[in-house]
């Protein structure tokens, strides 16, 4: 009785692992297939979407955050690519990020809680 129970459990675990693996594989394939140029640039601050731009806009704008507006990230959209030109955050990871242009790509500035993402408007 006990033995068959634990066997059953192992079998269920294996099925679960297989399901998870195939789901993630399918997800990965779909992700790869649908990876294409985005057309919208979305800027979220602290999890809320604050600004939206078209990726065809050529612009340079300061994104100001912080309780006393002490944080600045300079966002540039140019030739269908988006990048952070400069920022006064301590780690500068966002500035060092390569330009993004594909649907689903993001640049994150953790210290300033900013997420810049490229999406595709349906
Ligand atoms: Zn940063």
Same domain for 51 and 13: no
H/E element, 105: none
Interval between CA 34 and ligand 1 midpoint (Å): 28
Q: Which residue has the tokens 């400069």?
A: 86
How far is residue 81 CA from its own chain's centroid?
15
Phi, psi dihedral angles at 17 (to 5 degrees): -60, -45
Tens-binned pLDDT, residue by residue, of the chain (122 aa): 566 778 888 899 999 999 999 999 998 887 767 667 789 999 999 999 999 999 999 999 999 999 999 999 999 999 999 999 999 999 999 999 999 999 999 999 999 999 999 998 77
- Residues whose beta carbons lie less than 5 angstroms from ion ligand 1: 87, 89, 94, 109
Same domain for 86 and 52: yes
Interval between CA 12 and ligand 1 midpoint (Å): 45
| Structural domain range at position 71 | 40-119
Same domain for 80 and 45: yes
The CATH number of whichever domain residue 96 belongs to comes to 2.60.320.10
Interval between CA 96 and ligand 1 midpoint (Å): 9
Same domain for 51 and 91: yes
pTM above 0.75, yes or no: no
Q: Are 54 and 61 in contact (CB under 8 A)?
A: no
Instruction: Please state the domain count of the chain.
Output: 2
Same domain for 95 and 58: yes
Question: How many other C-beta atoms can be found within 10 angstroms of the C-beta atom of residue 86?
Answer: 14
Same domain for 48 and 16: no
Interval between CA 1 and ligand 1 midpoint (Å): 59
Same domain for 65 and 6: no
Same domain for 46 and 5: no
């Amino acid at each position: 009785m006990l033995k068959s129970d634990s066997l059953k459990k192992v079998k269920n675990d294996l099925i679960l692992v297989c399901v998870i693996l195939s789901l993630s594989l399918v997800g990965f394939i779909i992700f790869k297939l649908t990876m294409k140029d985005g057309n919208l640039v979305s800027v979220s601050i602290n999890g809320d979407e604050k600004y939206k731009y078209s990726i065809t806009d050529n612009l340079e704008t300061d994104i100001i955050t912080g309780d006393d507006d002490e944080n600045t990230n300079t966002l540039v959209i140019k030739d269908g690519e988006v990048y952070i030109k400069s920022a006064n955050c301590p780690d500068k990871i966002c500035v060092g990020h390569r330009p993004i242009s594909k649907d689903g790509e993001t640049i994150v500035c953790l210290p300033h809680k900013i997420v810049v993402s490229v999406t595709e408007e349906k």
